[in-house]
Amino acid sequence: MATLAPPSGAPAGSVSPSGAASGAPAGSGPPAGESQGRRLAAVVVVALLAGAAGLAFDGVFPLGALVPVVGLSAGVPCVLALALSGRLPLWGMIPVSALAWLVVVSATLFRGEAWLGFVPSPAAVRAALLGVRDAGGWLLTTILPAAPDSTAIVLVSFLVWVGTTAGTEIVLRSRAVLAPAVAALPVLAVAVVLGVAGAGSVVPYAAGFAGLVLLLALVRSGRSVGTAVAGVPLLAGLVVVAAVAAPVLPMAARPYDVRQLVEQPPPKPINGVSALDQVSAWLQNPQRELFTVSTTSEANLRLAVLDTFDGVSWTSSAGFVPTGGRVPGESGDRDAVEQRFTVQKLPGPWLPAADRPLVATGPGIMVDPATGMLAGTQTREGLTYQVTSGIRQYSAGELREATPAADPTVRRLPDGPDGRTPPQRARLAQLARRATAGARSPSQQAAKLAAYLRKLAVNDVNSPPGHSYRSIEFFLTESKRGTTEQFAASFAMLARAIGLPSRIVVGFRPGKAEGAVRQVRGGDVLAWAEVEFQGIGWVPFYPTPSRTRSGGGGDVAEGAPKQAREIEQAINSDSADPKPSKTPTHPPTPRPEPPQETTGFLVWLLVPGALVPAYLVAVGLVPFVRRMRRRRRSAPPAARVMGAWRQTVTRLRGAGIPVSSGALAAREVAYLAEGALGAGEPLRALADLANLAAFGGAPVDRGDAELAWRHYASVDALVRRRVGVMRRFWWRLSPLSLVR
C-alpha cells in the first residue's frame, strides 16, 4: 500500500510504527531516525560479542597470548567500519578490511616474513592463509593448549575479524536487530568445538555472549536510553546465574568431543639408539656432565620408558605429539614438583623429568600421552625447559590388594629372532617361581623378585653391556655380575615369565647439589622396572643393589626413593602401612570425586527455579518502566506524543495485528488496525499527531501530548475488548515484550 503524505508543509515521508521517519526502501541503509549514539553503542556491543567469542578459545590457547590477538581483531574492524561508513559500498569495504587484516597479522604474528616488520609480503600472506587453513586440523590432533608462540592462533584472529566486520556492517547498513549477533556466533561455535579437549572452560564466555546478545537487542530495539539501562541489571543477573549453574549441569561433566570423529594421525615415533644401550657408556664416563636441574625434590628423573622386547633389545613404543605445555595426567594422589632443566652433553631426543610430567614448557617439546615421556625437536646443548611433575603416592595397603593389569603386550616374552621358542624362557620362568615362592599376592611377587635380584648378583659398572635372552641368562646363572642395565632387564623378563606386566625405565638419580642447581653426570644413570596394577598404574621396583653393599646377601637398592623402600618392605613383611616420612612433602593433589547424580538432579530443579522468577519479574517490570518513560511529564511535548505512538504500536503488535514492518507509515498502521479492531477514530487522530510531532508541520504543545495519551488509552480499551485474555497473557510472557 502506498505511503500516505504527511501534513501540508512537512517533508515527504511519514512515521513508521517504531516512530522513525520512513520513505526509503527497507534495508537500503541504517534505520532512518536512529541516533548516532545508538548506532555507535550497537557497534561497540558487536565488537564485545566477537571479543567474547574469541576469548572462548581460552584453553585452546593460553589466555595471555589470546587477549592481544582478540583485542586487535575485534577493535580495528570497528574503527575501520566507522571511519569509512557512508564512503564506500559493501563491495568496496571487503577488500579494504581484508588488506587491513593482513597488515595486522603481518605486524604481529608473522613479523619475520613481513617487509619492514609489518608490510605484508608474499611469504607473510602465504603463512597467514595457510595458517587459517591448517590450524583447525592441527588443533584437533595436538595436546591443548597450544604453545604461546603457536602461529595457529591466526585462526582466532581471522574468525574474530570476520565476525566483527560482518556484524558492524549489518549494524551500519540495515535495520536488523539480532542479525549482527549471528555474525559472531560461528566464532563461538568453533571455540566450543576445538576447546572441549582443552584445559579452560567456555562457559563464562558463552554466558557473557548470551548477555551481550540481549543487550544488543535492547540497544537496537529500545526507544530510549532508559529502556536499555533498565534492562542491563537483569541481563547481568541472568549471565551470572548461567555462568554459575552451567558447569554443574549433568551434561557438563562429559561434553561431547568432536575429536572422536576425526581420524587422529599416528603419533610420531622417535628413532635412535635405545636409552638402555647407552647405560654402559654413561657408566664408563661417570664425570660426563649431562644436564643440570633446579628443583627442591630428590626424586629420580626418568628419561625413557621401554616396553617392547624383541628377544635382543628393549625399545619404546611411544608416539609423540606436540604440546604447548599440558601433559595428559593419570589418576592418583601426587605431590607437585617444579623443575628447570638445562641440557649439556645429553644426547637427544629424550628429555628427563621427575615421575609423571603434568606441564612441560620449552621450545619444541613433544610428549607421549601414554607414558608421559618427553622429547624435543630442538634438543641441543644449552636448551632450557621447565617441568611440573606429579610424584605418585602409593600405599602398601592398596598395593597388597591389587591385581595385575590385563594388557597382553606388556606380559609377552617373544620368540627369538629366528622364530623359534628360545630355551631361556623356560629357565626364566623356573627362576622367577623360585624367587617368588611363598608370595601371597602379585605385588608381593614383584617385591620378592626385586629383593632376590639384589641378593643374587653384584652391581659392577665394568660389566659388559647387553640385555638379550642369552645375556640375561648368562648374568643370572653364571657371571652374576652386571650393571643396572642387566638388573632392570632381568626383573622385567622374570616378571613377564610369571604373568606380571612389566617394563623398564632408564633415568638418573637427582645428582649432586652444586649451589642452587643439581649437576647430573653419567655416573648417575639408573635403570629400574615397573609393574602395572589395575586401578593403580605403573609401580616402580628397584632390583639393582647398591654398589657398596651388593652381593654377599646384601639387600640395599641402588637409588631407590625412601617411599619405594618403605612400601617394598611393608609388602614383603605383610605389615601395616609404613610410617610417614619425616621429610615434609607438598600437599597431595586431591583425587577428583565423581559427580553425584543427586547433585545433578537438584541442579536441574534449582536452575529453572531461579530463572523463572527472574524472567517473570522482567516481563512484568520492563514494559511498565518503558511505558512510564515514554509518558514522563518532564519530556518535551513532541517526545511524549511519539512515546504514545510507539506504545500504541507495541499494544497493537501484542494483539496480533501485523504492523511490524518498518516501511509502514502511521496512517497505514491506523488503517490496518481499524480493520482489525472495528474502530479507527482514536488511531487516525493519534497517527496525525505523530506525523506532526515527527515532521514539525505545526507546533505541538502539552495539550496535544495529553490528547495523544488519551488516544492510546482508547486504543488500549479497544484491544482489551477485541482480543482474548489468553492472547494478551501470552504476549505479556513473550520475550518480545522485553524489547518492543
Which parts of 85-153 fold into alpha helices (H)?
90-108, 122-139
List the Cα angle 617/620/624 in 5-degree steps: 130
The sign one gets for the Cα dihedral 104, 110, 115, 116 is positive
Least confident of 6-20, 290-304, 342-356, 618-632: 6-20
The sign one gets for the Cα dihedral 82, 86, 87, 90 is positive
pLDDT above 90 (res 484): yes
Structural domains in the chain, CATH included, are 29-261 (no CATH), 275-391 (no CATH), 398-509+525-573 (3.10.620.30), 619-738 (no CATH)
Strands 458-459 and 481-482, bridge-based pairing: parallel
Give residue-wise pLDDT tens across range 628-679.
656 666 578 888 888 888 888 877 777 777 665 455 677 777 777 777 776 6
Least confident of 379-383, 581-585, 712-716: 581-585
Q: Which residue has the higher pLDDT, 225 or 376?
A: 376
Element of type H or E holding 341: strand 334-343
Strand partners, 323: 143
Whether the CB-CB separation of 527 and 459 falls below 8 Å is answered with: no
Grid cell 630355551 is found at 423
As a whole number of angstroms, the distance between CA 161 and CA 609 comes to: 39
Strand partners, 374: 351, 367
pLDDT above 90 (res 377): no
Q: How confident is the model at residue 207 (pLDDT cuts 50, 70, 90)?
A: confident
Phi, psi of 454 (to 5 degrees): -65, -30
Which parts of 545-680 fold into alpha helices (H)?
562-573, 597-631, 637-654, 666-677
Buried-exposed string 7-17: b where 16+ CB fall within 10 A, e elsewhere: eeebeebbbbb
Contacts of 605 (CB under 8 A, 6+ apart): none
Q: Helix or strand or coil: residue 507? A: strand
Q: What integer pLDDT is reported at residue 102 of this predicted model? A: 94
Reported pTM = 0.63
Q: What integer pLDDT is reported at residue 242 of this predicted model? A: 57
Contacts of 202 (CB under 8 A, 6+ apart): 56, 58, 59, 188, 191, 192, 195
Looking at the chain, the whole-number percentage of residues with pLDDT higher than 90 is 36
pLDDT above 70 (res 6): no
pLDDT above 80 (res 116): yes
Q: What integer pLDDT is reported at residue 196 of this predicted model? A: 78
As a whole number of angstroms, the distance between CA 433 and CA 498 comes to: 7
Give residue-wise pLDDT tens across range 82-101.
998 888 888 888 999 999 99
pLDDT above 90 (res 498): yes
Least confident of 261-270, 381-390, 588-597: 588-597
Assigned C-alpha cell, 516: 642452587
Q: Which residue has the higher pLDDT, 734 or 413?
A: 413
Q: How confident is the model at residue 733 (pLDDT cuts 50, 70, 90)?
A: low
Give residue-wise pLDDT tens across range 255-265.
556 666 655 55
CB atoms under 10 Å from CB of 435, counted, come to: 21
The overall average pLDDT reported for the chain is 79
CA distances from 124 to 114, 118, 133, 154 (A): 5, 9, 14, 12
- 502-511: average pLDDT: 95
Q: How confident is the model at residue 286 (pLDDT cuts 50, 70, 90)?
A: very high
pLDDT above 90 (res 75): yes
Q: Helix or strand or coil: residue 23? A: coil
Buried-exposed string 631-647: b where 16+ CB fall within 10 A, e elsewhere: beeebebbbbbbbbbbb
Q: What integer pLDDT is reported at residue 1 of this predicted model? A: 34
DSSP state of 569: H
Q: How confident is the model at residue 10 (pLDDT cuts 50, 70, 90)?
A: very low
Whether the CB-CB separation of 348 and 501 falls below 8 Å is answered with: no
Assigned C-alpha cell, 55: 576469548
pLDDT above 80 (res 423): yes
Which among 521, 344, 498, 334 has a CA at the least distance from the CA of 413? 498
